[in-house]
Structure formats: C-alpha cells, structure tokens
Structure 1
Amino acid sequence: MKLHTLTKAFAACIVAVSAVAQLSADVIETKSGSRITGKVVKIDGSSVVVNTDFAGDIKVKQSEVVSISTEAPLNIRLAGGTVLQGTLSSPTGGGAVVLTGSEGTINTSVEKIATTWAPGTIDPELAALQRGWAYEVAVDVTGKTGNKEQLGTSFSARAVQKNAQDTLQFYTAYDRQETDGLKSADQFKAGVDYANNFAGRLSWYTRDEGGFDRVKDIELYNIAAAGLGYDFIKKANQTLTGRAGVSFRYEGYKNPLIEDVKAAGLDFGLTHEYTGSFWSLVNRISWVPLFEDFGNYRAQHESYLELPMANPKWKARFGVSNDFNSEPAPGVDKLDTTYFARLVLSFK
C-alpha cells in the first residue's frame, strides 16, 4: 500500500514539473493553428526563431505568426525605432502583441517587431557596423619530370575588413612557372579595393592594382579606377555586383622599342559569390578599355570552387583564371590561362 502511494506521488510530481515547464516556456501560434513551444531565440523582421527540445531551432515566417508570448525579457526594437526591454504577450491574438517592461507597456503587432536580442549581448545593428579583419593565404606547388621538366609555384593572400556599410580589401599574388628551364610565367600583382554601400544596393568604389608580367615584357603596370556599383543580388548566401567607372591605365615595357600605355579609360567589373551548405563559388570579371581606342583593353577573369577540409580553417580551391591583353608586346600571346588547385588557409 505504501509502495502504491509512493508511485502515485512520484507520478504527480512528474505531472507538476511538466506543467511548470510548459508554463515557463515561450509559445508562438501561427495562422494555420500550429503551436510551437520552446524558447524564442530571435526575431529579425522576417522570421521568428524558436529553439525546441524536439527539433532544435525552428524558423517561422514572421508574417505567419498571430500570437507570441515570452517568459524571459528580451531587448526589442520596433520598426519605428523604439527600443524596450521586456516580455511579449498576445492576450487577444490576431497578431496583436503587448510589450511589457519596467517603464510600462506598449501595444503593437508581431509584424512591427524589427529586431530582438538577449539582454547583455550586443545590438545586431551595432554588431553589423563593427569592423573585423578576415585573412586568407593560398599556395600551390606543381612539378613534372619525364618528357618535359616543369616546376611551378603560386602564392596569394587577401585581407578583408567588412561590415554592413563598407568593404576594404588588400590582396597580392605571385605566379612563377618554368618549363624545360625556361620561364613560362613570372607574374606579380598587389592591389587595394574599397567599396561603400551608401544607399541600399548602390555603392561607390575605388581601386588600384599594380605589378609586373616579365613573360609579357611588362616591367610595371598599374590600373587606378573609381566609379559606382550596384548589387543585382544581395542575399546572405549570394551576391551579384556590377561596377562601372573611369580608370587610368599604365603599362611600361622593358623593350624601349615598344610604346608604353599611358591613357584614361573606362572600368567595368562583375563579381558573383555564392555560398552553399558546404561549398562556395566565386566569379570575378573586369574589363578596362581606353577612351582613345576601345579596341585596346585589358580583361581579367577568375572563377573557382572552394570546398572545406576536416579543419574548417583549411579549404581546397579549384579554378581557372584568364588574363587578356588586346595589344600585347610582339611575339607574346594575347591570352594567358591558368588552371589551379590550391590549399587555402582562412583565419581572423
């Protein structure tokens, strides 16, 4: 009898604890009648993220939520800019929400909640404006013996400082190839690129790149440009940006009989970046024609696929790059194409 009584008491405790857990949980309801219980992690103006015991994080379209209640206080920013720390409740449903904080209550709606973040953490808008450097270093070494002797080394590095407002990049690369004891590539470049998103998808940019290409007899080249950019696609996992501006192009040849290029022109560029679940694809194209002769131009292209390795800091990069000079030095081909497989180290 005593055992039976203990069993009933234990069962009652379990029910009570379960009920308390339900009462202390956050709850959202959708237009379809679905009810999700857990902890509201984030509201970002387009979706509500709820952490659940049974399915981890669940993302629900904010426009589909008609009722929301939270137990723990959140920092909440409304679409109009008002910021309040407090809890959310929906006594009447239908999308209506009451924000309750130490300074009183505000009646609003689910769709007017722009952002939430946990007390003690940084405001997402401020976090988006914070600057932080990200670095990558890539290297590859290739060799071949037998019918032909070949040895090649390539090195590149890039440093990027980016936030929601602007992006600053420094980059450099060197490529040297020898085939049967003769140089088939000896090329170096270094540059800086700055872009400022001053109005939504619109941006202005300035860039400068210089270097040499000894196989093409270019002792020194430099391209300085500035103009406007536009984001045709601007998503978290994909961007497509076009550029158009003016430039000044210089190419100094080692051979004194070849006339150096010193002229102003246009500057066009297109950059596409896509990040998948475990891979990324990057495409970059630039075209720099001269005002005095549109047939005299330099075009560059690079495309590569990047795959992660066991250590997330290391990646494998496979791609192709093209460097086209419409009026090269005598005896030099217009187009240089490089196929590459590189080991990339990324860090912050």
Structure 2
Amino acid sequence: MNLSRSFPIACALLLALVASNFARADVVETRSGARLIGTITKIDAGVITLKTDYAGDLSVKQSEVVGITTNAPLVVRLASGTTLEGRVTSEGGAMKIAGPDGELTTKVDKVAATWSPGGTDPQVAALQRHWTYEAAVDMTGKTGNTEQLGTQVSGRAVLKTPQDTLQFYTAYNRQVSEGVKSADQFKAGVDYANNFSGKRSWYMRDEGGFDRVKDVELYNVAAAGIGYDFVKQPKHIFTGRIGLSYRYEGYSNPLTANVSSAGLDLGIYHEYQFANSKLVNRLAFVPSFNDFSNFRLTHESYYELPILAPAGSHAWALRLGVSNDYNSKPGVDVEKLDTMYFTRLVLSWQ
C-alpha cells in the first residue's frame, strides 16, 4: 500500500465527513464571533435553546446573537405577529426565512418565537392547561437492640397556567417504634391561586386530616386571602400571603378543649431553580382571633436532586428535607413541636 497516496485521501474523507456534519447542523453566530453548532429546538422569551452533542442544551441570549442558520425548516413568529415556515439563513446581519409560502427578510432581534413544524407556538402552549403529577415515598427501618419501621407516602397534582394554579395534595405518615405507634398522621388539601393583576393574586385553600398520636381526631383549616409575588422570575419565586381562616381541631380526650375559631392565615412560598436542582420552602401560620396565643405553624424545606435522566414525560429525583408542625396549645401530654427529617424518592410525570 502506498501510504503517501492513502494519507491525503483519508484526510480528504475526514474533512468531507466533518463538513457534511456541519452542513446538517444549525449554526448560531454571536456578537463575539463564536459559532455554536447544534440543533435549535426553540426561541422563546429572548432565549435561543441549542441542543448540542458536546455540551447538552445551551441557552443563548437572543440579544447576543447576530446570525442563525438552520438545516431544517422552522416556524418563525416575528414580534409584529407575522408567522412563516421555512429554512433560516443569515448574511451581513440580515436573516432570511425561505419557505413554500414565500421569503421574508428580517433581523434576529425581531424574532419573537420559533417552533418545529407541526408543533405549538410556545405562547399558546404556555396558556394551555396541563396537569403535572408527583408521587413520593420514603421508608426507614431498624432491627437489633430496638425495632423501628416508618413509612411516608405523598402525592400532588397541579394544574397550572400563567394566570392561575390549582393543586391537590395528600400525605400519610406512619411510624412504629418497639411495637408502639409514634406517628399516625394523614392530610389532604386543595389550593387555588389566581394572578388577577401582575404580581397580585387571590387564593383559597382547605386542608384536613387527623393525627392520632397527637390525639387529633379531625382537623381542618379553610382560608382565603390575597397574595403578592415579591420575586416572580422563571427560576425564582417568592410569594407572601395574608388572609382570613377558620380552624377546627377535634380531640378524642375530653380533657382537651376543641378548637373552633376564625383567625388569620399567613403564608410564604419560596422556590429557586438551580441548573440541575431546586430548593423549596413553605411556611404557614394560623393564629386564632379569640386567642392569638393559640396558633398552628407548619413548615417544610427541601432540596431536590435529579437521580435519573428524564424518560419521556417521567423523571426521578431525590428529595432531602425537614418539616415542622408546631401547635401552641396541643392536647394533654402531647409535645408542641414535631420535627421530621426525610429523604424521599420522587417520581414526577405529566
């Protein structure tokens, strides 16, 4: 074999292969002169999402992009509302969309959104109601000098649009230590919030259940009021609530007086999305009008990490957190504060 002749041929084939791969890819050109190669999955809210083999999904600020070239047709909606489907090319700061319905020349900063042919405009998709679900379970056990078994299961269903959010949730916690129940608690609730004006919202919620270890046969908290989003960003939410409530707690022990009173409802919800994880904090404070020293305070904080890559619409995560339930005037021989630390396996789907 003549190596002097085969080597240039191999190099030429390699260069042709690389060139063909580039030709089949989309290109995003930035103001700094960078050329990012991949597949443009969408442009929405001033961000270009580029899927790459070398760095996963990249988010590029649209304001920093001067040119776009696509291998396959895209549906492009301009800021003026004009929509056209076709391949996109760029030259000299101008962007051209060429398709079966004609050609249109514009600039990158005039593009409001793009999506794949046959898909849905992101603006329309954001307004569509859709359910998301999650189920979580954690189990603890111990044998030897002491015997202990604990199980908690929970679920949540959320129907959300940019204007409102409806949530249903439930949880059951049972702990047995040395054959004696140390926890036997159930709750179920519904929460609805409507953003009627910018960062302002109104809400209604209702939660009920029992806690047999705390001697609570039945409890219920119904509340309604207003909310305000101190921070409202795609990856960061901080919302405060204030409203009126009705709280009922019925005890099996006749020595403990039942609670049946109107009161305040104060709450905080905080969520921060990191690159591949999130932090969530929830706090609710319900004092009674007839005795402000009689109140219930509930709190939950957790950090959630993905543990498996999403498979279709399903995703697995690990949730590490702590929850507190404080009753300022509990039943006879019952502690005021219950604190639980948990590690939960969470399945989410839609």
Is 1:269 aligned to residue 267 of structure 2? yes
Partner AA of 1:162 in structure 2 = L
Distance 1:11 1:172, change over 3 A: closer
Query: Which residue matches 2:203?
Result: 205
Counterparts of 2:20 and 2:276, CA distance in 1: 41
Distance 1:81 1:226, change over 3 A: farther
Secondary structure at the aligned position of 1:329 is classed as coil
Aligned runs of 1:131-280 on 2, under 5 Å?
A: 131-146=130-145, 149-165=146-162, 166-280=164-278
Aligned runs of 1:278-293 on 2, under 5 Å?
A: 278-293=276-291
- Given that 1:27 and 1:70 are in contact with CA atoms closer than 8 Å, whether structure 2 keeps it comes out as yes
Secondary structure at the aligned position of 2:158 is classed as strand
Distance 1:47 1:209, change over 3 A: same
CA-CA distance at 1:242 after TM superposition: 2.2
- Given that 1:150 and 1:177 are in contact with CA atoms closer than 8 Å, whether structure 2 keeps it comes out as no
Matched residue count: 343
Query: Which residue matches 1:115?
Result: 113
CA-CA distance at 1:66 after TM superposition: 2.2
CA-CA distance at 1:212 after TM superposition: 1.5
Counterparts of 2:188 and 2:242, CA distance in 1: 21
Of 323, 337, 340, 2:339 maps to 337
CA-CA distance at 1:245 after TM superposition: 1.9
Segments of structure 1 that go 5 or more residues without pairing to the other structure are none
Counterparts of 2:149 and 2:38, CA distance in 1: 57
CA-CA distance at 1:301 after TM superposition: 0.9
Secondary structure at the aligned position of 2:130 is classed as coil
Counterparts of 2:277 and 2:25, CA distance in 1: 37
Deviations 1:85-134 (A, max 9, x none): 234344441xx434444444445432221110111223223333241331
CA-CA distance at 1:236 after TM superposition: 4.3
Partner AA of 2:268 in structure 1 = L
Query: Which residue matches 1:318?
Result: 320
Distance 1:277 1:155, change over 3 A: same
TM-score, structure 2 length as denominator?
A: 0.81
CA-CA distance at 1:220 after TM superposition: 1.1
- Given that 2:138 and 2:342 are in contact with CA atoms closer than 8 Å, whether structure 1 keeps it comes out as no
CA-CA distance at 1:57 after TM superposition: 4.9
Larger Rg, first or second structure (1 or 2): 1
Counterparts of 1:346 and 1:59, CA distance in 2: 24
Distance 1:198 1:109, change over 3 A: farther
Deviations 1:243-292 (A, max 9, x none): 22221111122233433222221211122233445544332211111233
Counterparts of 2:309 and 2:117, CA distance in 1: 33
Deviations 1:169-212 (A, max 9, x none): 22222223344554433322111222334444433322111111
Secondary structure at the aligned position of 2:63 is classed as helix
Counterparts of 1:16 and 1:145, CA distance in 2: 68
CA-CA distance at 1:55 after TM superposition: 5.7
Distance 1:54 1:193, change over 3 A: closer
Distance 1:280 1:290, change over 3 A: same
Secondary structure at the aligned position of 1:132 is classed as strand
CA-CA distance at 1:334 after TM superposition: 1.6
Counterparts of 2:13 and 2:275, CA distance in 1: 44
CA-CA distance at 1:336 after TM superposition: 1.6
Counterparts of 2:9 and 2:97, CA distance in 1: 39
- Given that 1:45 and 1:111 are in contact with CA atoms closer than 8 Å, whether structure 2 keeps it comes out as no
Distance 1:139 1:26, change over 3 A: closer
Partner AA of 1:31 in structure 2 = R
Counterparts of 1:40 and 1:204, CA distance in 2: 38
- Given that 1:299 and 1:323 are in contact with CA atoms closer than 8 Å, whether structure 2 keeps it comes out as yes
Distance 1:231 1:7, change over 3 A: same
- Given that 1:29 and 1:65 are in contact with CA atoms closer than 8 Å, whether structure 2 keeps it comes out as yes
Counterparts of 2:11 and 2:177, CA distance in 1: 81
Distance 1:311 1:47, change over 3 A: closer
Secondary structure at the aligned position of 2:289 is classed as coil
Distance 1:142 1:4, change over 3 A: closer
Deviations 1:10-38 (A, max 9, x none): 98888788777766764443222334455
Counterparts of 1:13 and 1:184, CA distance in 2: 72
Query: Which residue matches 1:30?
Result: 30
Query: Which residue matches 1:302?
Result: 300
Of 326, 329, 344, 1:327 maps to 329
Counterparts of 2:152 and 2:16, CA distance in 1: 65
Distance 1:169 1:143, change over 3 A: farther
Partner AA of 1:44 in structure 2 = D
